[in-house]
Amino acid sequence: MKNKSLRYLTVAAMTAALYAVLCLVLAPISYSAIQVRVAEALTILPVFTPAAIPGLTIGCLLANILGGCPLLDIVFGTLATLIGAVGTYLLRSRKYLIWLPPVVSNTILVSIFSIYLPFSKESDDSLWFIMLTVGIGELISVCVLGYLLYFAVKKLVSGSVLQMIR
């Protein structure tokens, strides 16, 4: 029992660290009005382990705080990632739909609060334009990079290792 809890905590912590580091290292494309947050590719990890859900959530929270995001972004951006990760976990048996929850939750939530952020007011972007740019960034991160990650992890990780981290 203790080993399983320790593994869960370790996987969650490693996921959080990886998410935050990817955002911070790739800051120029992770924090802007038009962004491709590469770390969002990790939102497919709940397919393999539920430990990725708190990891992604904490990683996004840390990345948003350390990246200097406004409070709205910290709260609702993190919520969007949490919703996406839970949705991915719930759809884990349907590999062609696992991309849907993170893309939809981020496109809707991030776009809605983004219209209240300073960069949107300065450029006079409409909600539809912001939804389009956020959606395209999420599609690139989750559908392209996330699917590459999905197939790489699936190929590299044996069933016994998957059972170990679940």
Q: Is residue 126 scored above 90 in pLDDT?
A: no
| Residue 18 pLDDT exceeds 90 | yes
How crowded is residue 27: how many other Cβ atoms within 10 Å of its Cβ? 15
* Spatial contact of 102 and 138, defined as CB atoms under 8 Å apart: yes
Average pLDDT over residues 38-67: 97
- 4 pLDDT band, cuts 50/70/90, is confident
Reported pTM: 0.88
Average pLDDT over residues 104-117: 86
User: For position 122, what pLDDT does the model report?
Assistant: 47
Can you tell me the mean pLDDT for 1-10? 87
